[in-house]
């Protein structure tokens, strides 16, 4: 079984409901959630004039190939009303693959570890609680080390 870490985010509608629905869909279509962080409210990153997000990191264990996990995630996003109109635009749900075991994947539609993970406080705060000693297979640093190197000063607060 491969440990897969996913980041969930929502900044439209009932954000909490979208996180819960995403987890239910993930458990039904991909694998049971083994662990999850608390929910964090975070300022919008990249396009900062958007509503605040609720973010949460979850961990699954699966034997599904990474591309199959991605396909299922994209389907869940569509089912939950995600529309891709603008980069970093508001969304009902966003699901990113942060880590797929210790694999390094660089394909046109999938880069793992997530290429912006080490730059984002809203990712590293919850991930640092779930897996503080997890080593980034490209940067060769633990999540806590990445968090201590972070330049991102956006507000991320645990709910």
**Residue from 96, 120, 152, 153 carrying the catalytic annotation:** 96
Provide the β-strand partners of residue 111: 106
Active site residue 91: yes
Pairing of strands 2-10, 110-112: unpaired
**Residue from 91, 149, 152, 153 carrying the catalytic annotation:** 91
**Residue from 82, 120, 149, 153 carrying the catalytic annotation:** 82
Q: How far apart are CA 28 and CA 126, in angstroms?
A: 23
Report residue 134 as tokens: 């997890």
Query: ∠ CA 136-126-109 to the nearest 5 degrees?
Result: 55
Active site residue 14: no
DSSP per-residue string spanning 79-116: HTT----STT---S-EEEEEEETT--EEETTEEES-TT
**Residue from 94, 102, 152, 153 carrying the catalytic annotation:** 94
| Residues in CB range of 3: below 8 A, 6 or more apart | 34, 59, 60, 61, 99, 101
Active site residue 96: yes
Active site residue 52: no
Q: Which residues does the annotation mark as catalytic?
A: 82, 91, 94, 96
């Amino acid at each position: 079984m491969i440990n897969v870490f996913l980041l969930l985010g929502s900044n439209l509608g009932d954000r909490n409901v979208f996180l819960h629905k995403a987890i239910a869909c993930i458990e039904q279509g991909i694998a049971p959630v083994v662990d999850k962080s608390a929910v964090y409210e975070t300022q919008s990153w990249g396009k900062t004039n958007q509503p605040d997000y609720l973010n949460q990191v979850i961990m699954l264990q699966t034997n599904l190939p990474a591309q199959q996990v991605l396909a299922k995630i994209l389907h869940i996003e569509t089912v939950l009303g995600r529309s891709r109109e603008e980069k970093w635009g508001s969304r009902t749900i966003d699901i990113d693959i942060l880590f797929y075991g210790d694999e390094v994947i660089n394909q046109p539609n999938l880069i793992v570890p997530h290429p912006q993970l080490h730059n984002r406080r809203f990712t590293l705060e919850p991930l640092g609680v779930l897996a503080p000693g997890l080593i980034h297979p490209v940067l060769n640093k633990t999540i806590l080390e990445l968090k201590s190197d972070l330049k991102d000063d956006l507000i991320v607060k645990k709910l």
